[in-house]
A = this chain, B = another copy of it.
């Protein structure tokens, strides 16, 4: 089995291997096995988001195991659910695999999804499996708002505190280390399999956060999205002040690869931290990193930032 390829199995057998590894979930009314699943939505509404991981675009198989890819696919989608202030309930997964892919990669991927979802009571309730030119994992995640209003990008107001939960720059640093041939660093793990501060999302909503999003494309670029949607300026404190912990953690890696840790903090994507604005006290898990002021755009220590994130097609 260890050397088996996808093309060695028929579709039903491969689906069965995946299905056996997927968690049922606390909100699952009807799980896999029919044309569709049924998920409980006690709120009378559900939150939904979809994100895809594409081989050689978002990950490389020489670096990421199936379990890494599965965990990351789950985490980046659950982070989007959390960013609305919701608690995750269920995932579905559309997986495309090349015929020569080791079966162990596919079963590992299911185990990676389960490793993230099962402890949260999140079910993987359905999926689709197709052949294709490379590995692609399209996850759709759902969540429950428990009666609260969704936290949007458009609610930030001058005077709010800008706050951040999670880490900043770790994923970008981990990728840089991998490119440089280094694997023996916790930062590499943060790239392969980021850990989003999922509980901080509903906590922020309960604390009255006025705006929030998941930091997937870099702190400056994503802050710009809140600024644009809210018609305000996001004024970060100096990186040295606001992100001192991250800078300290990244300094060694920056020296190894000859990079600036500031650039990773401000421009690195895919850490899946949460950036939020609070009119009052911050929720547990958030640290203050700046203020909302009248105006537009993003400033860092009063200056225009020089890092602007990245573009998938650029």
Q: Which residues of A are at the interface with B, using a C-beta cutoff of 8 A?
A: 6-7, 9-11, 14, 29-30, 33-52, 54, 56-58, 79-81, 83-84, 86, 90, 92-94, 96, 99, 125-134, 136, 138, 140-143, 145, 150, 152-153, 212-214, 229, 311-314
Contacts and interface: CB of A to CB of B under 8 A. Distances in A.
Copies in the complex: 2
Contact of A130 (B57, B79, B93): B57
A47 to B, nearest CB: 5
B131 A214 contact: no
22 contacts: A10-B311, A30-B152, A33-B152, A33-B153, A35-B79, A35-B212, A35-B213, A36-B83, A36-B86, A37-B47, A41-B46, A50-B92, A50-B140, A52-B136, A54-B130, A57-B132, A58-B130, A92-B140, A94-B94, A94-B140, A131-B312, A133-B134
Contacts of A81: 35-36
A152 B57 CA distance: 38
Contacts of A34: 83-84, 150, 152-153, 213
Contact of A312 (B41, B45, B130): B130
